[in-house]
Amino acid sequence: MTPACLIRAFRIYPLGRGLAVGMVVLSAMSVPSIAQQEASGSGPSTATVTFTLDFPRSNPAHYSIAVDSTGHALYECSGTVAEGSEEEAYQTEFRVSAGNRERIFALARQAQYFAGEVDSGKGKLAFTGTKTLGYQDGQRSNTARYNYSSLATVQQLTELFQRVGGTLDYGRRLTYYHRYQKLALDDELKRMETQARNSELSEIQGVAPVLQEIVEDTSVINVVRARAKELIEMGTNGTAGH
Tens digit of each residue's pLDDT (9 = 90 or more) over 224-241: 999 999 999 999 887 655
Q: Where are the domains of the chain?
A: 4-34+44-237
Tell me: pLDDT of 60 over 80: yes
Amino acid found at 65: I
Secondary structure of 152-192 in HEC code, one letter for each residue:
HHHHHHHHHHHHHHHHHHHHHHHHHHHHHCHHHHHHHHHHH
What is the CA angle 4-172-60, rounded to 5? Answer: 120
Residue-level pLDDT at 242: 56
Strands (E) in 34-172, as ranges, are 48-54, 62-68, 72-79, 88-95, 130-136, 141-146
Which tens digits make up the pLDDT trace of 83-104? 777 888 999 999 999 999 999 9
